[in-house]
Structure 1
Amino acid sequence: MKPNYYVAHPWHGLELGPKAPDELDVFIELTPQDTVKYEIDKASGFIRVDRPQKYSNRSPTLYGFIPRTFSGEASGKHCSEVVGRPDILGDGDPIDICVLSVNPITHGNMILTVIPIGGLRMIDKGEADDKIVAVLKGDEVFGQMKDISEVPKALINKLHHYFLTYKLDPNSPSTGTVEITEVYDRVEAIKVIQFGIEDYIKKFVTV
């Protein structure tokens, strides 16, 4: 294989992997140990400090995104149809992913091979902002799980609570703009990923 002498952009330059969407290579921005919120800088591909985590919330899992996906028209339309509300849009970002691993991985800015097992249908300010849940391939504890129904309820509750509260300021009343309408299974997660791939191709590939 010809070597790549340049660092690939994590969103546009990384491949999904030959078994996508059943098995994916994903990019991790944030770990449970991080006390600040890191996020990819879309223009450069470098990791940027988005904001300090001012309060007690930290991500319960590894957190990042699926390369070459985009939450756009098809993603928003699918969310609208499922929840029965018109005019939900995609949030304009790559599809987010939470990765379960029993072994502590202490820094982000890395690629992992994962297996999707479900997700959280999150809507933020009227935009689809799905959080796919996956297991690290080969993980001794989580790696054998095939569906989110096998994950301990307490861990799903932690994810649920994190995403509903991680933007809140205790000194300001919540405006209720973020909601999670359901926790869905692996079959639905694959659909969400496929719509994200479709939106990416339409946005960045199709001329």
Structure 2
Amino acid sequence: MATARVVAIANTTTTSCLLSNTAHFLPKSGLCGSSLCLTRRVALTRRSFTCTAIYNPQVQIKEQGQPETLDYRVFFQDNSGKKISPWHDIPLHLGDGIFNFVVEIPKESNAKMEVATDEPHTPIKQDTKKGKLRYYPYNINWNYGLLPQTWEDPSLANSEVEGALGDNDPVDVVEIGESRRKIGEILRVKPLAALAMIDEGELDWKVVAISLDDPKASLVNDIDDVEKHFPGTLTAIRDWFRDYKIPDGKPANKFGLGNKAANKDYALKVITETNESWAKLIKRSVPGGELSLV
């Protein structure tokens, strides 16, 4: 039987709103500015948009079907019960370098969960291959998921990463905090670093971040802090994603940028660029193919 749970995507001190055909996002200042507030139907100018604020929105997480079955889906709903997309409708920016992060895979689990980018309202489901559910060969050691309102454009070659094309998905996040989160949970995170993974020739960014409610969050603000307070973690993340396909007989993944993690500023650059690509996708300035834009 389907179950439901409720999580808040913003606390009482944060102003934001759910994206819809008429609602937009607004930082506390009342100006969109560099927060890249975005809308789907109104003509926009770059980084300067008309917005409306909604105070402290809540999102319901509703599960359909049984976990670890082909029918299992985790849908997101607004306060009225209307389905919304965790990819398109959850705001990316919360101001002051803080972003929303949607958990797809809790740490210490191995079911390969992901947003279904080709299904209406893009629910979270378990990935499949040849009709069978996919699992990692071993548990992932961090909370893993996506940055909403980002898109790695498959037509865009990145000159800094071997000319690799985007993988046609939202940007992935590896959240290094100590708590094991739940599928569909929405966390406020700050980026710390980025890894440029190249998976079968496609660029698949991994932004390393930490949830603001983690006990060590105040101690880590950039890549050097990660090395100091989470020693070996960046190398462990790179090695995990490099090697996880090897047990299935596939070659190891590669990494650009000298096989090393880039710093926070570079991670923010990746987020900005992929947010802009998402905006073009939503406005249909670039082809969406089979992607669902609702």
- Shared fold per TM-score greater than 0.5: yes
Match of 1:48 in 2: 125
What does residue 65 of structure 1 align with? 146
Q: State the shift of 1:12 in Å.
A: 1.0
Whether the 8 Å CA contact 1:73–1:199 is kept in 2: the answer is: no
Deviation at 1:73, TM superposition (A): 5.9
Which residues in structure 2 correspond to 1:144-155 (within 5 Å)? 144-151=219-226, 152-155=230-233
- 1: distance between equivalents of 2:136 and 2:175? 23
2:247 to 161, 165, 169: 169
Mark the CA change 1:125 to 1:67 in structure 2 (over 3 Å): closer, same or farther.
same
Match of 1:187, as an amino acid? D
1:118 aligns with 2:196: no
For these two proteins, the number of residue pairs brought into alignment is: 196
Aligned to 2:10: none
- Where does residue 89 of structure 2 map in the other structure? 13
What is residue 134 of structure 1 aligned with on the other side? 209
Q: Establish whether residue 191 from structure 1 lines up as the match of residue 266 from structure 2.
A: no
Secondary structure in structure 2 of the residue aligned to 1:192: helix
In the TM superposition, what whole-angstrom CA distance separates every residue of 1:40-93 from its partner, at most 9, and x where no partner exists? 1121422211244363x222211000111100168x43x32x24x34x211110
Quote the Cα distance in structure 2 between the aligned partners of 1:32 and 1:18: 24
C-alpha separation between the residues in 2 aligned to 1:156 and 1:111?
23
SS at match of 1:191: helix
- 1:138 is displaced (CA, Å) by 3.0
Gap regions ≥5 residues in structure 2: 1-53, 56-78, 128-132, 286-294
Cα distance between partner residues in 1 of 2:236 and 2:266: 21
Comparing 193-202 and 33-42, the one that deviates more: 33-42
CA distance in 1, matches of 2:210, 2:141: 13
One of 155, 161, 165 as aligned partner of 1:89? 165
Q: TM-score, normalised to structure 2's length?
A: 0.61
**What SS is found at the alignment partner of 2:262?**
strand
Structure 1 counterpart SS, 2:83 = coil
Deviations 1:142-164 (A, max 9, x none): 34310122113321122112111
Gaps of 5+ in 1: none
Q: Distance in 2 between matches of 1:203 and 1:100?
A: 30
The 8 Å contact of residues 32 and 61 in structure 1, kept in 2 or not, is answered as yes
Q: Tell me the CA shift for residue 183 of structure 1.
A: 0.5
